[in-house]
Amino acid sequence: MKRHYEKVTVLAPARLHMGFIDLSGELGRHFGSIGLALNDINTRLTIVPAQALTVNGPCADRALKAARQLCRQLNLSENIRIDLASAIPEHIGLGSGTQMSLAIGAGLNAFYDLGLSVRDMARLTDRGARSGIGIGVFEQGGLVVDGGRGPDTETPPLLSQMPVPESWRFILAFDRRGQGLHGAQEVSAFTQLPAFPRSEAERLCYLLLMRALPALAEQNLALFGEVITELQATVGQHFAPVQGGIFTSPEVEAAMNWLQQHGAVAVGQTSWGPTGFCAVATPAAAEALLADLQARFTSEYLSFKVASARNKGAEVARV
């Protein structure tokens, strides 16, 4: 019987998926992606001893499945209770599945003092099959770039992690009606897509390495945002046949177009959506646009939120 601590708490941040680099693997590695960690939206849980495995709170079914799977794989006692204070909303492009799995894994790792890494937990829970940014933001936060998958890849390697200026703000647009493709639908969608041109993968690699990352290092939001918008448009056009357009939600698309016309940059959709995102340089600019958005776009299905980047990874604490 492995010894355990009396209480473990975990906070795992939501993330924006800002796009893939090579969707066909024409350059030797498949996928590769860019994304960033968010404050303000997260999964928070506590693990304490109990008579049997129980889970309480939002997304409890998913947490229970992950906990049971890991306990069996690692031969751990299931005499625990997991209390979820918050959970990233599922299937709207914010990384809910990866963050829940890693949060449960990190919590069990700390509770039972297993000495495992985040990558160990990702492998055990089958995370990182395509994008590695969820793993990267859990590990380190900030803006991350992963190297995609090669012939021998277990989890996509983290190539770059950079802090995001504290003043930058990200405006998120949500459509309550739908969810992005996930599970079997997502796997099927990838099989239906046409080949991604090698020339486009080469161009996106250059834009990311020689324009977006240097712009972030120099805190040049306009140039950084220009590249993200271009990357999003390119990848969105590729995904359009299976998601109905560059954006999954026409209402979100309309809001994002309006934001771009009024000074927002880095405009796109995170993962399969339907959540859209954009960036502005200051909190004041974000709040002003948010007020105008809420006055102009009054659909009962749309909602908006301002978030900042999180420049650190998940938090795990134990007693």
Distance CA(50)–CA(249), nearest Å, equals 43
CATH of the domain at 155: 3.30.230.10
Regarding whether 152 and 24 lie in a shared domain, the answer is yes
**Count of Cβ atoms closer than 10 Å to residue 91 Cβ:** 19
Regarding whether 63 and 31 lie in a shared domain, the answer is yes
What does the pLDDT look like over 3-52, one tens digit per residue? Answer: 677 999 999 999 999 999 999 898 899 999 999 999 999 999 999 999 99
- pLDDT for 244: 78
Half-sphere exposure of 270 (CA within 13 A, CB side): 29
Which residues of the chain, if any, have pLDDT below 50? none
Regarding whether 142 and 17 lie in a shared domain, the answer is yes
Contacts of 178 (CB under 8 A, 6+ apart): 248, 249, 273, 274
- Is residue 97 assigned to a domain? yes
- pLDDT for 186: 64
pLDDT above 90: percentage of residues in the chain: 88
DSSP letters, 5-53, are: -S-EEEEEEEEEEEEEEESS-TTSSBEEEEEEEEEEEEEEEEEEE-SS-
Regarding whether 213 and 84 lie in a shared domain, the answer is no
pTM: 0.94
The residue among 232, 315, 319 whose CA lies nearest residue 45 is 315
- Is residue 2 assigned to a domain? no
What does the pLDDT look like over 252-263, one tens digit per residue? Answer: 999 999 999 999
Regarding whether 196 and 58 lie in a shared domain, the answer is no
Regarding whether 187 and 149 lie in a shared domain, the answer is no
- pLDDT for 181: 53
- Is residue 155 assigned to a domain? yes
- pLDDT for 2: 59
Task: Give the H or E element holding residue 295.
Answer: helix 283-296
Regarding whether 159 and 136 lie in a shared domain, the answer is yes
**Count of Cβ atoms closer than 10 Å to residue 45 Cβ:** 26
Regarding whether 123 and 226 lie in a shared domain, the answer is no
Regarding whether 235 and 88 lie in a shared domain, the answer is no
Regarding whether 157 and 15 lie in a shared domain, the answer is yes
- pLDDT for 183: 62
Query: Which residue segment(s) compose the domain that 188 sits in?
Result: 169-308
* Tokens of residue 231, six digits: 């990357």
The residue among 175, 153, 196, 154 whose CA lies nearest residue 272 is 175
- Is residue 1 assigned to a domain? no
- Is residue 52 assigned to a domain? yes
CATH of the domain at 244: 3.30.70.890
Give the SS3 label for residue 201. helix
- pLDDT for 190: 66
| Strand intervals (E) in 50-188 | 54-56, 80-86, 143-146, 158-162, 169-175
Regarding whether 140 and 209 lie in a shared domain, the answer is no
Cα 193 → chain centroid: 22
Regarding whether 130 and 181 lie in a shared domain, the answer is no
- Is residue 71 assigned to a domain? yes
Report which DSSP code applies to 182.
Answer: -
Query: How many domains are there within the chain?
Result: 2
